[in-house]
Chain A
Amino acid sequence: MSDVKRMHETLSRALPDIPLEVESAQAGMSWIHVPAEHIAAVIGHLRHTEGFDYLACLTGIDTGEELQIAYTLRSLPDKTECALKISLPRDEAVVPTISHLYGVADWFEREVFDLYGVHFDGHPDLRRIMMPDDWEGHPLRKDYVFPSEYHGISAERPDPHDLLDPEYEACAVDPAPKSDSKEGSTS
């Protein structure tokens, strides 16, 4: 993609202190690799100087060895796109936030925090978004272990063959103790 190459040249000229590289794989698109600590500066430059006013996509990726975050920026007037990517260590993943640059980044970053455990530095309201607040772990990480129960609700699926067995107990986990008070009284 020539857009990315051109953008890389422009960025390298404007921000000479930041090491930027164009990367690509065997197929698909190429992207600019940015050191994690400089991402806010780079995107800020793209936003304010180069006219990339639209954050199309922000996603986390867990390759197994490292966490990555991919930013897809778009310029609506120029109809160009620019993909950026950062790499993070699996433990202690901290990135500067870009939620002050794009309103939508607020929720995108909350989602990445929720599902990958990446901490966004300076984010105004970093809470879980998809999972309950008391959920343990970050589900889209490759090393995530599925819990067998949640608040007494079994998450295990029974083997269909077991269901035919008359001895089979439907609920593996003890059901929650019944509360004494009735929910509603009748008259």
Chain B
Amino acid sequence: MKELFFELSQSWQLEPLEMTGAIALWLVVVSAIVLSFVATFAGVTSWVERRVAGRMMSRIGPNRVGPQGFLQWMADGLKCFLKEDVIPNEVDKPLFRFAPYLVFTGTFAAFAALPFGYGIVAADLNIGIFYVTAITALVVIGILMAGWSSNNKWSLLGGVRSAAQIVSYEIPSGLAILSVVVLAGTLNLQAIIAGQGGFPWDWYIFNNPFTLMAFFIFFASILAEGNRTPFDLPEAESELVAGYLTEYSGMRFVFFFFGEWANLWVMSALITTLFLGGWQIPGVADLAGVVAGVQGAAKTLWILLSVVVFFAKTLVLVFVVIWIRWTLPRLRVDQLMVMCWKYFVPFGFLCMMGSALFVLIAQSPLGETVHLVVRLALTGLGGLVLLLFVRRTILNVRELQDPFYFKVLE
């Protein structure tokens, strides 16, 4: 993005003062693009989640507004805009008003550093992953603020639970990130992707047994940070009414959920970036070289292809997260903490040390061969698990009483 801007600004030959204005304008344009992407993504995901949940529960889900109910999210958004914004008398009004924006900002600001494809990133920070983990931690302040200012005991319980949960799970997720960073040797998200390859055995997830473990730790921790089931204790509707959301209504309520669905993208994109090879196209060893070698439409096409690959991986993960949400029950708060402190944190450390060890092994003589064997073996393992899963699914479908029909739309 930055390169594109400088190319354009050089071709326009701007004065220094005009340059400042142009930068400001450019920032506004970029943030508008990202914001509209986030808004659309959050909205569409809300519809997708409801339809997917509907299919899983053998019901239909929203299908009235627009084709297949696709415009449901717009109708809901509009409804919430027009709703009365109720603020109870007893709440701490400034904090109560401010909290939703903080939650939304925390999620939204993460998009600034997230890659979307080769070279497609709003701000290619050299400390990208560090920035993302730092800025998403802003959410916890917003949630705690919402819980406290609501002046409602259920909200407070939800807020405190959330604070405990997010702060705790920052540690294992950070350790899992570190075990990848050790391999990549950089904090830059684009560079982390560039360090991987197109095929699964080139991805960091199958790089060594420790990153495989780190992948699962990271996945679970980031689910917990995003308050998704099975870790959705702060808003557990059967225990805490609606947790910190209890007193909110209308647009402010939507802002929280906006943040939640946008966070779905953040977590999936991060996993894709760190573990699943990001925008690397299978079969293309050096995408940067390829893109540098071609011009015009071909260049655009290559970049577009990388975007498609990245989106495909991310959306599959988004689906998996939705799938988990509608399958699993919720943990209890003490079980959650036990899981974090007794299992994830020590194993996270193990992952980090193990990865570092593997870097050393790979550098030794014969290390190259050993590493290749390990990678292929782990990929084979992953393939086997996938195969078993598919086989199990086919068996289950065959056992069904009713004639099974794979009708996605209804």
- A-to-B contact residues, CB < 8 Å: 181-187
| A183→B87 contact, CB < 8 A | no
CB distance from B94 to the nearest CB of A (A): 11
Mark contacts of B311-330 with chain A using CB atoms, 8 A cut-off: 1 yes-contact digit, 0 otherwise: 00000000000000000000
User: In the assembly, what is the distance between CA of A182 and CA of B89, in Å?
Assistant: 9
User: In the assembly, what is the distance between CA of A184 and CA of B97, in Å?
Assistant: 15
Q: Is B301 an interface residue (CB 8 A)?
A: no
Q: Is B84 an interface residue (CB 8 A)?
A: yes
Interface members, chain B 61-90 (any A CB < 8 Å): 84-89
| A186→B85 contact, CB < 8 A | yes
CB distance from B255 to the nearest CB of A (A): 15
CB distance from A180 to the nearest CB of B (A): 13
Interface members, chain B 296-313 (any A CB < 8 Å): none
Pairs across A and B, CB under 8 Å, 16 listed? A181-B89, A182-B89, A183-B89, A184-B86, A184-B87, A184-B88, A184-B89, A185-B87, A185-B89, A186-B84, A186-B85, A186-B86, A186-B87, A187-B85, A187-B87, A187-B97
Mark contacts of B99-110 with chain A using CB atoms, 8 A cut-off: 1 yes-contact digit, 0 otherwise: 000000000000
Q: Which of A181, A182, A184, A185 has the most CB of B within 10 A?
A: A184
Task: Output the nearest chain B residue to A181 by Cβ-Cβ distance.
Answer: B89
Q: Across the interface, which residues of B come within 8 angstroms of A185, CB to CB? A: 87, 89
User: In the assembly, what is the distance between CA of A185 and CA of B93, in Å?
Assistant: 11
Task: Output the nearest chain B residue to A183 by Cβ-Cβ distance.
Answer: B89
Task: Output the nearest chain A residue to B93 by Cβ-Cβ distance.
Answer: A187
Q: Across the interface, which residues of A come within 8 angstroms of B85, CB to CB? A: 186-187
CB distance from B153 to the nearest CB of A (A): 18
Q: Across the interface, which residues of A come within 8 angstroms of B97, CB to CB? A: 187
User: In the assembly, what is the distance between CA of A168 and CA of B85, in Å?
Assistant: 38
CB distance from A77 to the nearest CB of B (A): 37
CB distance from B82 to the nearest CB of A (A): 13
User: In the assembly, what is the distance between CA of A184 and CA of B91, in Å?
Assistant: 10
Mark contacts of B243-283 with chain A using CB atoms, 8 A cut-off: 1 yes-contact digit, 0 otherwise: 00000000000000000000000000000000000000000
User: In the assembly, what is the distance between CA of A185 and CA of B87, in Å?
Assistant: 6
- New A-B contacts (7) at CB < 8 Å, excluding given A183-B89, A184-B89, A186-B86: A182-B89, A184-B87, A184-B88, A186-B84, A186-B85, A186-B87, A187-B87
CB distance from A187 to the nearest CB of B (A): 6
CB distance from A32 to the nearest CB of B (A): 47
Task: Output the nearest chain B residue to A186 by Cβ-Cβ distance.
Answer: B84
Interface members, chain B 28-67 (any A CB < 8 Å): none
CB distance from B170 to the nearest CB of A (A): 34
User: In the assembly, what is the distance between CA of A89 and CA of B89, in Å?
Assistant: 53
User: In the assembly, what is the distance between CA of A73 and CA of B85, in Å?
Assistant: 58
User: In the assembly, what is the distance between CA of A186 and CA of B321, in Å?
Assistant: 37
User: In the assembly, what is the distance between CA of A182 and CA of B97, in Å?
Assistant: 19
Q: Across the interface, which residues of A come within 8 angstroms of B87, CB to CB? A: 184-187
Q: Across the interface, which residues of A come within 8 angstroms of B86, CB to CB? A: 184, 186
User: In the assembly, what is the distance between CA of A181 and CA of B89, in Å?
Assistant: 10
CB distance from A143 to the nearest CB of B (A): 44
User: In the assembly, what is the distance between CA of A181 and CA of B90, in Å?
Assistant: 13
CB distance from B276 to the nearest CB of A (A): 44
Q: Across the interface, which residues of B come within 8 angstroms of A182, CB to CB? A: 89
CB distance from B364 to the nearest CB of A (A): 66
Q: Across the interface, which residues of B come within 8 angstroms of A181, CB to CB? A: 89
Task: Output the nearest chain B residue to A182 by Cβ-Cβ distance.
Answer: B89
Q: Across the interface, which residues of A come within 8 angstroms of B88, CB to CB? A: 184
User: In the assembly, what is the distance between CA of A185 and CA of B89, in Å?
Assistant: 6
Q: Across the interface, which residues of B come within 8 angstroms of A186, CB to CB? A: 84-87
Mark contacts of B120-150 with chain A using CB atoms, 8 A cut-off: 1 yes-contact digit, 0 otherwise: 0000000000000000000000000000000
User: In the assembly, what is the distance between CA of A133 and CA of B168, in Å?
Assistant: 46
Q: Across the interface, which residues of B come within 8 angstroms of A184, CB to CB? A: 86-89
User: In the assembly, what is the distance between CA of A185 and CA of B86, in Å?
Assistant: 7
User: In the assembly, what is the distance between CA of A55 and CA of B86, in Å?
Assistant: 51
Task: Output the nearest chain A residue to B247 by Cβ-Cβ distance.
Answer: A184
User: In the assembly, what is the distance between CA of A183 and CA of B97, in Å?
Assistant: 18
User: In the assembly, what is the distance between CA of A181 and CA of B88, in Å?
Assistant: 12
User: In the assembly, what is the distance between CA of A183 and CA of B88, in Å?
Assistant: 8
User: In the assembly, what is the distance between CA of A44 and CA of B86, in Å?
Assistant: 58
Closest 9 CB pairs of A and B: A184-B86, A184-B88, A187-B87, A187-B85, A186-B84, A184-B89, A185-B89, A185-B87, A186-B85
User: In the assembly, what is the distance between CA of A184 and CA of B84, in Å?
Assistant: 11
User: In the assembly, what is the distance between CA of A63 and CA of B89, in Å?
Assistant: 53
CB distance from A71 to the nearest CB of B (A): 38
Task: Output the nearest chain A residue to B88 by Cβ-Cβ distance.
Answer: A184
Q: Across the interface, which residues of A come within 8 angstroms of B84, CB to CB? A: 186
Task: Output the nearest chain A residue to B85 by Cβ-Cβ distance.
Answer: A187
Q: Across the interface, which residues of B come within 8 angstroms of A183, CB to CB? A: 89
Q: Across the interface, which residues of B come within 8 angstroms of A187, CB to CB? A: 85, 87, 97
CB distance from A178 to the nearest CB of B (A): 17
Q: Across the interface, which residues of A come within 8 angstroms of B89, CB to CB? A: 181-185
CB distance from A183 to the nearest CB of B (A): 7
CB distance from A43 to the nearest CB of B (A): 40
Task: Output the nearest chain A residue to B87 by Cβ-Cβ distance.
Answer: A187
